[in-house]
């Protein structure tokens, strides 16, 4: 069954990476370096995964599908951001995982996590910003270069 994954993550060096995957393959990405000493360890991440038999399997069609369903995906991100305003008890629950259904038999999973040392509201703000800028982020992604 086709799977599309959108992700966004912030590293300890304050760099931001976003991308789009098809199945287990990363096909599009963006990387905004911070200019700090490189440190690839993650501070937080947001993974939005959709699965369904009618999903596209080609890169640009997958990008278009995400943009066409932007409003529904933004709603899921906004709901998660609201629930994460204080933070996340990772000792009890691990990452925050939300499951949702879209039209045409497409199901989705939103997974969000961050380190314990994040300031109150920082994880919520990251999820909210991801949702508010979803289209712009998706449209800015470039093909992954294979070495």
Residue by residue, pLDDT tens for the chain (147 residues) are 999 999 999 999 999 999 999 999 999 999 999 999 999 999 999 999 999 999 999 999 999 999 999 999 999 999 999 888 765 565 555 677 889 999 889 999 999 988 877 777 888 899 999 999 999 999 999 999 876
**What pLDDT is recorded for position 90?**
55
Report the pLDDT value the prediction gives residue 122, as an integer from 0 to 100.
87
Number of structural domains, the chain?
A: 1
Measure Cα distances from 103 to 52, 69, 107, 129 in Å: 10, 10, 8, 25
Helix (H, G, I), strand (E, B) or coil at 98: strand
Contact 21, 73 (CB under 8 A): no
This prediction's pTM: 0.91
pLDDT of residue 19: 98
pLDDT at 64: 98
**What per-residue confidence (pLDDT) applies to 121?**
83
The span from the CA of 34 to the CA of 45, in Å, is: 17
**Residue 72 belongs to what domain range?**
3-143
pLDDT at 115: 80
């Amino acid at each position: 069954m086709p799977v599309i994954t959108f992700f966004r993550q912030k590293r300890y060096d304050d760099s931001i990476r976003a991308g789009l995957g098809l199945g287990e393959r990363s096909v599009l990405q963006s990387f905004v370096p911070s200019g700090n000493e490189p440190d690839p360890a993650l501070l937080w991440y947001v993974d939005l995964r959709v699965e369904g038999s009618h999903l596209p399997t080609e890169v640009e069609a997958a990008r278009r599908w995400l943009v066409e369903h932007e409003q529904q995906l933004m709603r899921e991100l906004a709901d998660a951001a609201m629930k994460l305003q204080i933070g996340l008890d990772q000792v009890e629950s691990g990452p925050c995982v939300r499951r949702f259904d879209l039209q045409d038999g497409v199901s989705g999973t939103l997974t969000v996590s961050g380190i314990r040392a994040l300031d109150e509201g920082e994880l919520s703000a990251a999820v909210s910003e991801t949702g508010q800028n979803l289209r712009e982020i998706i449209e800015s992604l470039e093909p992954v270069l294979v070495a």
